[in-house]
Amino acid sequence: MSTLDLFADLPEPAAPQPAGGDRARYAQLLQTLAHHAQLYYVQDAPELPDAEYDALYRELEALEAAHPDWVQPDSPTQRVIGAVLDGFASVRHAAPMLSIKTETDTEASGAQAFDARMRRELELDIHAPALEYMAEPKFDGLAMSLRYENGLLVQAATRGDGETGEDVTANIKTIRQIPLRLVGEAPAVLEVRGEVYMARADFEALNERQRARIAAGEKNEKTFVNPRNAAAGAVRQLDSRIAAQRPLSFYAYGLGEFVAADGRSEVATFGTQRGLLQAIKAWGLPVCDLAQTVQGAAGLVAFHVSVAQQRDSLPFDIDGVVYKVNSLALQKQLGFVSREPRWAVAHKYPAQEMLTTVLGIDVQVGRTGKLTPVAKLAPVFVGGVTVSNATLHNEDEARRKDVRVGDTVIVRRAGDVIPEVVGVLLDKRPAGTQIFTMPTHCPVCGSAAEREADEADSRCTGGITCAAQLQGAIAHFASRRAMDVEGLGDKLIEQLVSQKKVAALPDIYHLDLATLAGLERMAEKSAQNLLDALEKSKHSSLARFIYSLGIRHVGETTAKDLARHFGSLDALQAADEAALLQVPDVGPVVAASLAHFFADAKHQAVVQALQAAGITWAEELGEADVPKPLAGKTLVLTGTLPNLSRDAAQALIEAAGGKVAGSVSKKTYAVVAGAEAGSKLAKAQELGILILDEAGLHHLLQK
């Protein structure tokens, strides 16, 4: 039976079963958990995301609590999981490397439950002061013990089975964060417990190098699924020269064996968990700055929430936080249970990675025409929500990850980030799968899908005629710097498109009062105001109309240049690429985009329909005929003019051949200053630059 078959046969943890079924279920859980523990802790090749493993572990704990006589010596609840690998010398830990109990309630109640448990254990009544805790991030790395004798690093060992680990001293010495000799006066013996991990940026860089090696034909190379897997693999390299090439990091968080030079105990030496971390840091070992002391349940909850908000932006992976009673004396008093400290708990966050199956790969078309391959998944709960779709970003990314229909994949969702496929379990790939290929035509409108040489994305060339792009096209067309249709916002556009009131861009000019008033949050007055705004927008300028069409690479400034240069829409539509290249600042990419747009019969039909709806503008003068009193001159606007808006003043200056800059310099020709002019006016006075009011600007333009 395969691993996945075994897991698939397991019923949901909450499903009630008869006693006989419970006993069989218990045996099956032992087998399954042992198998996955071997894969995760020993082979560094996990097949199950953490959340699924934790769910099985919790079910096992529940069965053992109900039937304590069933508990087997080899149950994962009875020992710290792991084993020593062949090839490394064995190290028996002077002080066992124990596991920490996991609080699986990911909400605030998990922290409150731990505080309540500590107060009960210490027999504190409701009037006793709040307990002080040390709260730390729970790193997703590889547990490590560093042994220093008289300040010198003599041994580094993995957790192993908690009693015996692997001697990986040579590899750990390659981590530059770890001092070979402690700073200052050191104890006779100091065993520092901590985590070896790989930062996210280092992990991405490592995988990039691995992909380059694979592309170059180097054998036995592979990319890594996640930073934890990569870090564990680096630590367990038998050749330390290879380990040295892997970018590892380390954080210290605890204590193993300790022998002070003066014979004092750790309680007398450090006093608290915070005191311990401060001493470790003073000896030259890295300690995470996120760790902090907090008071009572409220402090634990606040820490859990705060770190959760930072989780996605941290430079390393964590899967929760750890709470420890701060007082070392109280830690001694609380002691241990089932090889776990009573005084500490790991409080998990919702899993960010889960395992599922790819049911299909669709291609979605965005508002800008971008084609995005999306994996359709068997629904899976990850990152706090049920996920059934995950982005593959673009053709290159889909090919690099080689995601195929039928694959078993790891899906990741971090915070509000769109779910994505992290990697494929190639050994689970069924026979006959097909490599994904991006379509050559838009799946919505059938227009050609093109990808420029220097871009990763393919785009539909349908533009304003593509139904998938319609909502974005209308929003751009109605924007303030385009046709300026006041009141036609995103939510209203979404209603019009989703209810099929508008099927093409020109349809907005055929809306009536009854249709608009019947929409959500639209009364008759609002509907009439929108109709008035649509009517007003019909009387615009050629530059605004060109810009409103949303032609790729054509911004507001280019639209103005085109209107000034050609003077009419007919002349612009008739221009070939050679003629378009004569326009200032229009290069080959923009010229090709314009020529392609106006050569498309569907685009021509939309433009004609818009004109037929009543859109007009005064014909622009040809480039050679336009007076240019400000040609080559740069002006700056500051303050509030009495009659002209900032946009209107800028339009007048640009129409006269001038340019408007945002700051004053020696190259500035004049500053147009209105009421409440500030530092720009002062700078102009300092430089002796011409200063104009609104009347002065009009006089200058009339020249």
Residues recognised as catalytic: 138
Q: What is the DSSP letter of 196?
A: E
Tokens found for residue 422: 């992290």
**C-alpha of 414 from chain center:** 6
CA angle (630 as vertex; 626, 635 as ends), nearest 5: 140
Cα(79)–Cα(71) distance, rounded to whole angstroms? 12
Q: Enter the tokens of residue 30.
A: 């032992």
Owner of token pair 């367990």 = 236
Which residues sit opposite 373 in a β-bridge? 363
> What is the pairing mode between strands 634-638 and 659-661?
parallel
Host H or E run for residue 449: strand 449-450
* Strand 690-692 relative to strand 670-673, pairing: parallel
First to last CA, the chain: 90
Interacting residues of 266 by C-beta distance below 8 A, sequence separation 6+: 255, 258, 260, 276, 328
Please check whether residue 116 is in contact with residue 297, taking contact to mean a CB–CB distance below 8 angstroms: yes
Q: For residue 321, what are its two tokens? A: 């936080």
Tell me the H-state helices in 567-630: 569-574, 577-580, 588-599, 601-612
Select from 423, 206, 204, 193 the least CA-distant residue to 285.
Answer: 193
Q: Determine how many CB atoms are found less than 10 A away from the CB of residue 114.
A: 24
Relative to beta strand 164-166, strand 344-348 is unpaired
- Beta-strand ranges (E) seen in 279-366 are 292-295, 318-325, 336-337, 340-341, 344-348, 353-365
d(CA 204, CA 422): 12
Q: How far apart are CA 659 and CA 638, in angstroms?
A: 14
Q: Which residues, in sequence order, are bridge partners of residue 659?
A: 634
> CA distances (Å), 383 to each of 310, 312, 558, in order?
15, 11, 44
> Torsion-angle region of residue 538: left (phi > 0), alpha (psi -120 to 50) or beta?
alpha
Angle between helices 588-599 and 601-612 (to 10 degrees): 70
The 132-139 sheet, strands edge to edge = 102-103, 344-348, 318-325, 132-139, 292-295
DSSP codes, 256-275: EEEE-TT---HHHHH-BHHH
Distance separating alpha carbons of residues 307 and 302, to the nearest angstrom? 9
Whether the Cβ atoms of residue 163 and residue 78 lie closer than 8 Å to each other: no
Q: Which residue has the tokens 């430089």?
A: 687
Query: Cα 702 to chain center, whole Å?
Result: 54
475: nearest Cα among 514, 512, 502, 451: 502
